[in-house]
Each structure stands twice: as C-alpha cells, then as structure tokens.
Chain A
Amino acid sequence: METDPVIEVRKLVKRYKTSGEEALKGVSLDVSRGEFLGLLGPNSAGKTTFTSLICGLLRPTSGTISVLGRELRGDPGEIRNRMGLVPQEIALYQGLTVRENIMLFGHLLGLHGKRLMERADMMIKIFNLEEHLPKLIAHCSGGIKRRVNLICGIIHDPELLILDEPTLGVDTQLREMISGYLTGMNRKGTTVIYTTHYMKEAELLCSRVNIIDHGRVIADGKPADLISRNAGCADLGQVFLNLTGRDLRD
C-alpha cells in the first residue's frame, strides 16, 4: 500500500454561521493512499461535517484541507472527477428510471460512449439490477435505491471514495454484497472513507478507524489495536462506548 497521503487535514475548525455551533474543533488527520478509513462517532459528533468539508460542500472556518494533492479552499474543482461520494440520502432523480439515473451520473462523472456502457453494464450485473432497469426510482424498493445510489457514486472508479452510511436500512444480504464490492475496490487501490454506526461492519472492513466525538478525534488506529488498547473491551462497539460514554446524544 502506498503511504503518500490522499487527504491531509490540519487543525480543521468548522463553526456554523447560523447556529454559532462549533462542529469541528481543530481536527488533524492524514489518510494514506489505499486506506479503508472508518469514521465513527455518535450523532452530532461531526462526522458529516468532516466528510462535507473534504468533499468541498462546506468551507472551513480555519485550518487546511488537502485532497489528492490539492489544497481545498472552496470548490474542489478538477479533483471532483477523481473522487466519488455516496451520500446517506438516496440522491437520485425519482422521475427517472434505474438505467437513466446510472447513465446520467455516468455522463456527469466523465464517462461516455463505450466506456460508460461497459462500466454501467458491469455495475448493473454485479448488483443484480437487470430486471429493475426500466423502473422509475420512485417505484423501487429501498434496497434497489441503495444499490443504484451506490453505483452512481462509484461508476467512474474514483481514486477516493467517501461513503456516508451506505448500508443504512438494507438487509444482511445486500450489506454483504456492498461490503464485498467495496473491499474489492480498496484492494485495487481506491482509498475509502466510510462512516457508519455499525461497529461490526467497521471492525471487519476498515484498515483504520477514527472515532470523533464533540468535534475532536478521540481515537485513531487499527480496530484490533484500539480493542487491545482499551482494557476490558472485546470488540470495537465496546471500545466506542468506553470512549464516548453511554449518554444519549442529540
């Protein structure tokens, strides 16, 4: 695995203008090329703010972010075609069919002609969507929507992939399928940043895990190392509770 950082974050602070709330309080971390980084944390910890900042959806209040060798001061610009985002929401056009959504986002992500057709057909086959292609997204089940949502973020085979709870609300079979595919992508060199509330999933998939709470990174390391460092914890879920506490969050 190459070790040059794909993402470099230094003393990142994000304060929302409308609420005055400081969602991130000086986060610094590096993500190396080829890593599968799990981003864990309770609700309102700052995970989504962090991923939004590295995608260029938000501007930092202070600190620096460098993604794929380019310092982000606002709009990600040309690095957008080298990264992929799979949002938590089903960000698809409800009025278009499964195939139309895949083709649209493929085009917008820079694929055209034969290359687009090959990639689309491959994704459709891997995720068993052949018989659902002519259906409008609005008429599809949650599982199909999740699969299409995923395909629309990865169809261009990005160098850096950011996924925000991609298995939320899906059954075990589909979760297995998604996990398997992402592991395959990571083995081929894609750097993955993966947020999830499923500790078991993070433990199995991630090569490194960051736990964020109250806008700060409170733990960083391989899952096995974190478990062994936290006495009395048998798995990552217990480590998480040990570090973040059992109080309910917003």
Chain B
Amino acid sequence: MGLKKLVALLKKDGLLMVRDWPGLAILFIMPAILLIVITFTQESSIPSKRSGMKIAIVNDDSGEFGINVVADLERQGYFNFTPLSSDNEARESVISGKFQMAIIIPEDATDKLFAALSEPEGAKEPDAGRSGVKIIYDPSLQKIFRDAVIMPVNVLLQLSATKVIMTRYTGDVNRMIEEYKDSLASDFSDGTLYSEIPPFPFRQDIINSLNERITEKIKGGAEIELPADPSFSSTLVELTEEPVFRSRHMPVSGLLQNNVPAFTLFAMFFIVIPLAGSIINEKDHGISGRMKTIPVSRMTIALSKIVVFIVVCILQFIFLMFVGKYIMPLLGENSTIDMRVNIPALAAALICSSLAAIGFGIMVGSLSSTHGQAATFGSVMVVILALLGGIFVPVHMLPDVIRKISIISPLRWGTDAFLGVFARHEGISGIWFQLCLLTSFFLVSVLVVVKSLGRE
C-alpha cells in the first residue's frame, strides 16, 4: 500500500517536473553554458597563447640582437606577438586597448650590448651602456598578468643576448685557434720549437711523440664550456616598464582599482531579482490590471521603478567603494583605489550601467511566469554575462571565441566603460560607445516588453 502511494506521488512529481520546461531548461542548459564559459575562463587565468592577451613587438634594431629576439619570441609558442612598425604605432595601439603590452627594441640595441661588454669592469655603471628594451603596457592591466608576461620575456631577452654574444665571440676564438694552430704546426714541422733541446738518447722519438700529442690536442679545437647554471649575476639587457595613458596623471593600477567597479557592475545586474520579483508580484496579485484602469501613464509607473533602482545602483557603488577603500586595507589588501577620475564620465557610466541592469530586470520580470523562473534564470544569466564581460577574468585574457561572444554582454560594455574611467581616466568622449550600447540595451529591453505584453 505504501509503495503504491509512493508510485502515485512519483508520477505526480515527475509530471510536474516534465511540464515545467522553463525550469528544465535552467537545470540543463544553464549549467552547460556555465561549464563552457568557466572552463575557458579558468584556462585564461594566466596569460598564454590560448588567452586573448595581445602583445605587440617593435624591432628598430637591425643587428643580431633585435633579429634574434624577434625570432626567439616567435618561436617560443607561449604568447601571441604581433609585429608593428614603429614606437608611435605601438603606443597608440596600447592606449586604445588594441594591445595590452608592447615590446620595443631600440635601433642601437646590438651596438650598445657589445659596447657595454667592452668597457673595463667597474669602469662605470653598466646600465648606462646597456641596450634598453622597453615594455609599454595598458595601466588597466593587472600587475599579476603583466608580471606573467614580463618575467619570461626578461629571461628570454637575457638568453637571446647571451646567445648573440657567445655566437660572436665563439666565432672569434675559433678563428684565432685556427690561425694559431697553423703557425704552431709549422713550428713543429720545421723543428723550430725543439732546436734548443740538446742531443740525448731517444731525442727524436720523444719529439715525435710530443708532436703527435700536441697536434691531436690542437686538432680537437677549443671547447668553450658554458656555466651549468644559466643564472646571471648581472643582467645583459636592461628591461624597463612604462605605462602609457592619455590622462594628465598616471592611473593607479591594482586589484581594487579594477575589481571595485567590476563587482559594482555585477551587483547592479543582480537587481534583476527584486525588480523582476516586484513585476511578477504585481502580475500575480492583479495590481498590474488595476494600474491599467487608473489614470497614471505607464511611463510614470515605469519611471518610479527606474528612479528607485538607479538610486539602489548608486548606493551599491558607494557601498562597494567604501568596502574597497576602508574595509579591504583592514583585511590586509595593499592596493588602493584612485578616485581622481573624470566625474561626469563616472556619473554617465553609473547611470547608463544602471539603466542596462534595470532593462534586464524589467525584461526578465515581464517575460517570466513565476518568481522561481525569474530568480533562477536571472541570477544564472548574470553570472554568465559577468564571466563573458570580464568581471572575473579580464576580457583580454579570454580565448578568441569567448571574447567574440562577449561583445553581446551588457556587462562587457559596462566593464569597458568603468575600466575606461578608473584605469585609463577617460572622459565621456572615451567611453561614449559603451554608454550608447548600455542605453540602447535599456531601450530595446523596454521595447521588447511593450511589444510582448501588448494588450489582446
């Protein structure tokens, strides 16, 4: 009897589950999307060839060093390097965000490398003559990602320099040995070397034996042994780092400078839950029907929700700023937040991002039938859009295919706008495109809702 009741209940629960196809879609499709996006994101957590990190290389040096460095960088297979023609082109590309870093080899790098080597030891500071290779970078690029590139590049530069030096000097030494070998051999053969040795029994046998051994030794050539440990007590190539930016003062780059605006954006989009919830409440309780018979325009009704949630978004930003500036240092975080940003640009980015978040919430609330659907779909979508948008891992670190998909994510547009404000100190003109996208998303969302809920 108990089993029959259990079967009846199983049938009930099974039917309810199967008939809730939106819920099923959330259970299967959402995790699949998360799996794909998170896997790619995890792979991108360190810079690599697979990640989207773009690094340019400018070689102004026509000598062996510049040529070797470019060849070695292209051969290493760990990063993608794109050759550019000039220092100016590289700077503009990094400032505009087309590349995250650029390596610049100056035109006299090879000459300076050998000039520094020929100076007497301790004569003057070796740095003065060293070929200064420069790495320029976008200040919004977090230090951890920057160091992941600079460190291996630095080692590669030192090895390239070593190889160039050894190739040249090994050649010189071998030439010297060949010349010496020839003159030594002739000294042996005409007896010049042994002329001063007085006659004694077996004199000629000993001389012949010595000749053989010395000749064999000379034939073997000089073997130059490299030290087993390739670490350097001093560097051959000085690598300098330089951030490039348009603003008057150098933007602060650090985890908090990037993360606080990014996670503010993430938090904003979570207003989908209360906003969609309030819309569904009004539908469920007949309030939306009542509102249609009351002399209040839909614009006014919508505006009240928009204003309230814009205020919530601004408060979220202020709160997270407070956490970043005052609470994080207490927990041991060393990086700081630089608020010397363009205030109109910041305000525009905040408002447009809020509008996009509100549009998303209105769309989810209007198109969902139940609170459960809205909450689950809304929150999972926000996580996916955040992953695509570069909230957890910077966009330029994501693989190409994911980066291309990310252009549809409103969180990507918001992150780009906030990074422009916080990391590159851009004004409104620098982020106008993102602002337009965010505002358009809001307008399109509202249009979708109006069309789909058009009265019978």
Residues of chain A touching chain B, judged by Cβ–Cβ distance below 8 Å, are 16-18, 55-59, 74, 76, 78, 80-81, 83-85, 87-94, 105, 108-110, 152-153
Which residue of B has the minimal Cβ distance to A53?
Answer: B456
Q: A59-B455, A74-B455 are in contact. Are A90 and B286 (CB under 8 A)?
A: yes
A90 touches B455 (CB 8 A): no
B124 within 8 A of A: no
Query: Which of these, B285, B286, B293, contacts A56 with CB under 8 Å?
Result: B293
Across the interface, B287 reaches (CB within 8 A) one of A56, A76, A91, namely A91
CB distance from B283 to the nearest CB of A (A): 11
A59 CB contacts on chain B under 8 angstroms = 455-456
Extra inter-chain contacts (12) besides given A84-B293, A87-B286, A91-B285, CB under 8 Å: A16-B456, A55-B292, A56-B292, A76-B293, A80-B293, A81-B295, A90-B285, A91-B289, A92-B287, A105-B294, A108-B291, A110-B295
- Which residues in chain B, 423-456, are within 8 Å of chain A measured between CB atoms? 455-456
Which residues of B are interface residues toward A (Cβ below 8 A)? 281, 285-287, 289-296, 455-456
Chain B residues with Cβ below 8 Å from A93 are: 285, 287
Partner of B295, one of A16, A18, A109: A109
B281 — nearest CB in chain A belongs to which residue? A94
Expressed in whole angstroms, the minimum distance between the Cβ of B337 and any Cβ of chain A is 36
CB<8 Å pairs between A and B, sample of 6: A55-B292, A57-B292, A58-B455, A78-B295, A80-B294, A90-B285
Q: How many A-B contacts at CB < 8 Å in the complex?
A: 56
Cβ–Cβ < 8 Å partners of A88 in chain B: 286
Give the secondary structure class of A's interface.
loop
Give the residues in chain A near B286, CB-CB below 8 Å: 87-91
Hey, which chain A residues are within 8 Å of B292, CB to CB?
55-57
Chain A residues whose CB sits within 8 angstroms of the CB of B295 once the complex forms: 78, 80-81, 108-110
Q: Of A18, A58, A78, A91, which one neighbours B290 at CB under 8 angstroms?
A: A91
Q: Would A108 and B293 count as touching, CB distance under 8 A?
A: no
Contact of A57 with B285 at beta-carbon distance under 8 Å, contacts A16-B456, A74-B455 already known: no
What residues on A are CB-neighbors of B287 within 8 Å? 91-93
Are B289 and A57 in contact, with the CB atoms below 8 A? yes
- Kindly list chain B residues whose C-beta atoms are within 8 Å of the C-beta of A57: 289, 292-293, 455
Contact among A80, A87, A108 for B289, CB-based, below 8 A: A87
The docked-state distance in angstroms from the alpha carbon of A129 to that of B286 is 22
Q: State which of B281, B293, B296, B455 has its C-beta within 8 Å of the C-beta of A85.
A: B293
Closest residue of chain B to A15, judged by CB? B456
Residue contact A83 to B293, C-beta cutoff 8 Å? yes
**Given A90-B285, A91-B287, A94-B285, is A55 in contact with B293 using a C-beta cutoff of 8 Å?**
yes
